[in-house]
A and B are shown apart, each in its own frame.
Chain A
């Protein structure tokens, strides 16, 4: 099996002097292609910091990060932008759809920055939206869609450039339990079709969909391979 993510002694320090915060300290983490991995842990434990580094939105202060075989820990801003565009799909808690654009246009956006030809763009966007069950909502603006539908548009946008890695930081944090289920179904389907999924969540229900839980505490990986099945007692014990 192929390794997609390899973090080696990754640390992240914010600020300097007496305002210094060590958000991550010597994190080692390896995730294989095709895994469905949930990241959990108490608030402030460094989950989002780790996701930002994994998603190439940020660089580690020290340590090395290989994404899909490339050492990305020292790349320039524009090189990281290129990697984010081609290899990574993001899903955020706040959806982050552009309000002036239709569902189609929002989904086409990553392809604009990938210089995909115009006809192929609309074809692929429609395909992605159909895959998340929104084939009949192509021309709706975000404010004409429910929260769950908006998050599904965001998922379509994340997968449309055929990334090797789908990252989601609390994707259901803004959704009710019913729409949470809808969205989780899509993640499960995507993973079943081979997509590597890494997801930060606070909800045990959500994490139980995954096949591996990584538990963070105080900027370190406390448990690397928790079984989602015995999550509840462990979670209580850990926090």
Chain B
């Protein structure tokens, strides 16, 4: 039995003697591997990106949304059962909560002089800036006094300020929202987009002013809000906060069985995002895996042709003393070498592709070293798996018949 180093040398010799055929055989594996690496890398990049986005909403944040999953999934209009008063109750009665930010939200035209644009107008409280980690850059934010006195003041998101004022200093200027005049008191820091939605195209006004003068709806329960965000004292108290807020709201809303609100923690959101992007990654990897499989079949195909072409060589080797296992290992090693080199080249291309995506998009796509090792290992196994059939065929050839096949 010929040793491994010797068989490898012979295989390399044969493969380099047929460079074009070897390259073409590798092509399938190269493409398969490049796509596996690229797909997984980009999928993980997307996962990381989404996670960062949710983290940017503010640490230890809980979102209290009117209605529940079932209601929203049904697509029906959800009754606005959350009120400003609920938010005040949470702030004063839930000990694990550090800050609460109810908000009322609506798309409105904002006008300054002859410029006008559509913006998201938010009715908010001073804690909004804290809960959402959204500080002012210039001027000041809404104060408790503004909320109490329903003053007509507005803090502008950086993009909106830019659109309306350009280089003019907006502080102290008047803008009109729904034909009501507001004094600009501050400009927020730029926050960037959240899952593709611009967060800097906003006008923030006192929640009481919003409710009474812009879109306010006062129901049986009080002043309706779009949703409430709350910040737990620390990440250990998130679960407690969720539990306590649930209890408080059930009590206030006199709920017997089905909740009319949903509390989502940042962690929940992260889990959902993780599940979605994880599923996406798996799907991409599966598609890429199929192409890797097809690459393996390509190797088998060309190896089968090669066995037929090299029948005389096999016959000669057997005539001068090669055993069945010598021939078997020679052909399997050829297949494995092709697959491993193809795998390595494909991985290189995949890593290059992923870096390119990382360079031109906000996705921080990266390939872990483990993924590379796994990819090359898997392609090696594919070579082994798909090399067996042609190698067995070669090993079983009758030397007399093989030598005669001229």
Contact = CB atoms under 8 A, between A and B. Distances in A.
A161 B317 CA distance: 14
Interface stretch (A24-32, A110-118, A208-216, A228-236): A110-118
A115 B326 CA distance: 12
A112 B2 CA distance: 7
Contacts of B14: 100
Of A55, A58, A78, A86, most B-chain CB atoms within 10 Å: A78
A115 B321 CA distance: 11
Interface string A106-133: 0001101111000000000000000000
Contact of A84 (B6, B321, B324): B321
B320 A57 contact: no
Contacts of B6: 112
Interface string B3-40: 10010001001100100000000000000000000000
A100 to B, nearest CB: 4
Interface stretch (A90-98, A175-183, A217-225): A90-98
B17 A100 contact: yes
B400 interface: yes
A213 B326 CA distance: 37
A128 to B, nearest CB: 13
A98 B313 CA distance: 7
Interface residues on B, range: 20 to 34
B2, B312, B318, B324 — most chain A CB neighbours (10 Å): B318
Given A96-B312, A101-B13, A113 B320 contact: yes
Contacts of A86: 321
Given A57-B400, A101-B13, A96 B316 contact: yes
Is chain B's interface secondary structure helix, strand, loop, or mixed overall?
A: helix
A45 interface: no
A115 B13 contact: no
A105 B12 CA distance: 14
Contacts of B321: 81-82, 84-86, 110, 113-114, 161
A91 B123 CA distance: 98
A92 B403 contact: yes
Contacts of B323: 77-78, 81-82, 113
Nearest to A95: B316
B322 interface: yes
Interface of A: 52, 55, 57-58, 77-78, 81-82, 84-86, 90, 92, 94, 96, 98, 100-101, 105, 109-110, 112-115, 157, 161
26 contacts: A52-B400, A57-B319, A57-B399, A77-B323, A78-B325, A81-B324, A82-B321, A82-B323, A84-B320, A86-B321, A90-B319, A96-B315, A96-B319, A98-B313, A98-B316, A100-B14, A100-B17, A110-B321, A112-B2, A112-B6, A113-B2, A113-B321, A113-B323, A115-B1, A115-B3, A157-B320
